[in-house]
Amino acid sequence: MQNITEISEDLFYLGGNDRRIALFESAFPVPRGVSYNSYLLKDEKTVLFDTVDLAVSELFFENLAYALGGRTLDYVVIHHMEPDHSASFSRLIERYPEAKIVVNAKTAKMLENYFGFTGERIFLVKEGDALSVGKHTVSFLFAPMVHWPEVMMSYIPEKKLLFSADAFGTFGALGGSIFADGVDFDREFLDDARRYYFNIVGKYGVQVQNVLKKAAALEIGMICPLHGPIWRKDLKYLLAKYDTWSRYEPETQGTVVFYASVYGHTQNAAEIVARRLGEKGVPVKIYDVSVTHVSELLSEAFRYSHLVLCSTTYNNGIFVSMDDFLHDLTAHNFQKRKYALVENGSWSPQAGGHMQAAISAWSGMEEVAEKVTLLSSVNEATREKLLALADAIALDFEQN
């Protein structure tokens, strides 16, 4: 049965939730599920903004038919071709053969590649074009690499409304309210929104900054993303988060300790450091990188100002889970953080050098404490060095 919501006069939410999905994009655990958002504007012309993932397509098509109320679908705007939003496209164009497909040139090429779809139903738009559909105008602004190269957003000035594609979205299915102001966003969504941001578009901070500049030139009263709740209040809060994240600035002053330990000795070292930091009043979190999903590790690394990496040596290199984590940080353009290193090894400790080599490729990194090397386990001498490492980090907080 249809389950639509009129979110603004003549504008309807048609999306749905998948709470059974294990891995979003086959990569990211989403224990709280995910929503796929789609919207319909009913003016003199009817305009659908994006479709949905196959997981919720039955509900979507029922919602669309109900919302149209027997009217023709005139336009379909595709902001983003990734299949979590376009997988229902083939069924859509069969059901609504009159609809023009509003896309940019890159999206048109992807429509051909994914679906073999070409021809006169394609309605090409360029950056800055505007489409009048009656009382409303839909204007288009491009947002390349947020999150794919073809991504565009659209803006309805009469409603001060931005369809933002993946930007400003989040993991997590929607609850009773589909609006951010209808939930405790910090408690229910912020961690997922941060993890979504850094894993999906964290690599493209410059491109996100470009979009924020375009958005700053618009009067925006509502943001409708493709995942997660709709924003109609406190937009400055959301825009400020995106500004901080996309400039790669830490969101929280504090230290996060990441350790990779086989038999517990490196863990012991990590916990000595974390305990000391806690005693010194430094906000600190600690993660075993072998048991925490790398998408969460990545998000936490970007969140905090300081990190401590502790790894045992493995195959003359870095322990595998730490190695994976560092690769992921590199892939997401990690930068501008303060750090310290702890390495362990029973006969030839080498993890520290390899971790340093990875970090050296990141820009704006600053080592704030002398590396500590353990031989198998912590002894009195190395315990003192670990405490000194923590004290150096604490001093950095005092001085900055």
Give first-to-last CA distance, the chain, whole Å.
57
| Nearest to 229, CA basis, from 2, 10, 1, 5 | 5
Q: Please tell me whether residue 145 adopts helix, strand or coil conformation.
A: coil
| Nearest to 188, CA basis, from 35, 8, 6, 27 | 35
Interface region with ligand FEO, contact rule CB under 6 A, candidates 9-17, 78-86, 170-178, 348-356: 78-86
Look up tokens 């509900």; give the residue. Answer: 59
Token readout for 221 is 């009263």
From the CB of 34, what's the least distance to ligand FEO, in Å? 9
From the CB of 15, what's the least distance to ligand FEO, in Å? 12
Q: Can you tell me the distance from the alpha carbon of 255 to that of 397, in angstroms, rounded to the nearest whole number?
A: 10
83 vs 157, beta carbon nearer ligand FEO:
83
Strand partners, 266: none
Residues numbered 208-237 forming contacts with ligand FEO, rule: CB under 6 A: 226-227
Interface region with ligand FEO, contact rule CB under 6 A, candidates 66-74, 79-87, 204-212, 283-291: 79-87
Residue 273 burial (10 A CB sphere; 0-12, 13-18, 19+): buried
Q: Can you tell me the distance from the alpha carbon of 63 to that of 66, in angstroms, rounded to the nearest whole number?
A: 5
* Residue 153 makes contact with ligand FEO by CB under 6 A: no
From the CB of 305, what's the least distance to ligand FEO, in Å? 29
Contact 290, 310 (CB under 8 A): no
Q: Can you tell me the distance from the alpha carbon of 3 to that of 14, in angstroms, rounded to the nearest whole number?
A: 7
* DSSP string computed for 261-307: -SSSHHHHHHHHHHHHHHHTT--EEEEETTTS-HHHHHHHHHHEEEE
Q: Can you tell me the distance from the alpha carbon of 365 to that of 358, in angstroms, rounded to the nearest whole number?
A: 11
* Residue 82 makes contact with ligand FEO by CB under 6 A: yes
Residues numbered 157-176 forming contacts with ligand FEO, rule: CB under 6 A: 166
From the CB of 226, what's the least distance to ligand FEO, in Å? 5
What residues contact 266, with CB distance under 8 A and at least 6 apart? 259, 260, 310, 311, 312, 342, 344, 374
Look at the chain and count its residues: 400
Alpha-carbon dihedral sign for residues 335, 337, 339, 344? negative
Binding-residue total with ligand FEO (CB under 6 A): 8
From the CB of 112, what's the least distance to ligand FEO, in Å? 19
193 vs 351, beta carbon nearer ligand FEO:
193
51 vs 266, beta carbon nearer ligand FEO:
51
From the CB of 146, what's the least distance to ligand FEO, in Å? 9
196 vs 259, beta carbon nearer ligand FEO:
196
Query: Between vectors from CA 23 to CA 18 and to CA 28, what angle results, nearest 5°?
Result: 120
Q: Compute the radius of gyration of the chain from its Cα atoms.
A: 24
From the CB of 277, what's the least distance to ligand FEO, in Å? 37
From the CB of 19, what's the least distance to ligand FEO, in Å? 17
Interface region with ligand FEO, contact rule CB under 6 A, candidates 82-90, 236-244, 324-332, 365-373: 82-90
| CB-closest chain residue to ligand FEO | 82
Among 74, 84, 188, 396, binds ligand FEO (CB under 6 A): 84
Residues numbered 131-150 forming contacts with ligand FEO, rule: CB under 6 A: 147
From the CB of 166, what's the least distance to ligand FEO, in Å? 4
From the CB of 53, what's the least distance to ligand FEO, in Å? 9
What residues contact 354, with CB distance under 8 A and at least 6 apart? 317, 318, 323
168 vs 304, beta carbon nearer ligand FEO:
168
Interface region with ligand FEO, contact rule CB under 6 A, candidates 6-14, 76-84, 91-99, 301-309: 76-84
Among 85, 159, 337, 354, binds ligand FEO (CB under 6 A): 85
* Residue 80 makes contact with ligand FEO by CB under 6 A: yes
| 161-172 core/surface letters (b: 16 or more CB in 10 A; e: else) | bbbbbbbbbbbb
82 vs 323, beta carbon nearer ligand FEO:
82
Interface region with ligand FEO, contact rule CB under 6 A, candidates 80-88, 235-243, 288-296, 340-348: 80-88
Q: What does the binding site for ligand FEO look like in residue numbers (CB under 6 A)?
A: 80, 82, 84-85, 147, 166, 226-227
